[in-house]
Amino acid sequence: MAEDKGTGDRQPVVQTITMPADANGNGDIFGGWVLSQMDIAGGVAAGRVCKGRCATVAIDSMTFHRPISIGDLVSVYCDVARIGTTSVTIHIDTYVTRRDESQPIKVTEGNFVFVAIDDDGKPRSIPK
């Protein structure tokens, strides 16, 4: 995994509050919900690099460090890890700020791969 950059002066690509509908019976947020938020954020970041339409083709790695609870403020940060001819790898960190705390906590991280696609859904070159 990439070195932890923390949140520092970085701006989240996606930020949301978790709701009861996003949780299991124990009050922990579903992993699939977190993956969805990360994929949305990664798609935004990849779209900026690709200068247009792109699609998720792989999740190279994914680690869940800590659970997310109902009412947590979820912030998703993205960094470009690699740019290829038609694909881009985005390293994604997810942090939460608990309701009664001020310090963000890293809860997940992963590397998502996106491919630039044309109007027909076929791979295209990423502009330099």
Question: Which tokens is 111 given?
Answer: 């590397």
**DSSP assignment letter at 21:** G
Taking the C-alpha atoms of residue 75 and residue 57, their distance in angstroms, rounded to an integer, is: 23
Q: How far apart are CA 38 and CA 16, in angstroms?
A: 11
Examine the pLDDT at 107 and tell me if it is beyond 50. Answer: yes
Confidence of residue 53 (pLDDT cuts 50, 70, 90): very high
Mean pLDDT of the chain: 94
Q: What is the pTM of this model?
A: 0.92
CA-based nearest residue to 64, from 14, 98, 40, 30: 30
Residue reference for tokens 């960190």: 93
Contact (CB, 8 A) for 11 and 41:
no
CA distance 68 to 34: 9
Confidence of residue 3 (pLDDT cuts 50, 70, 90): low
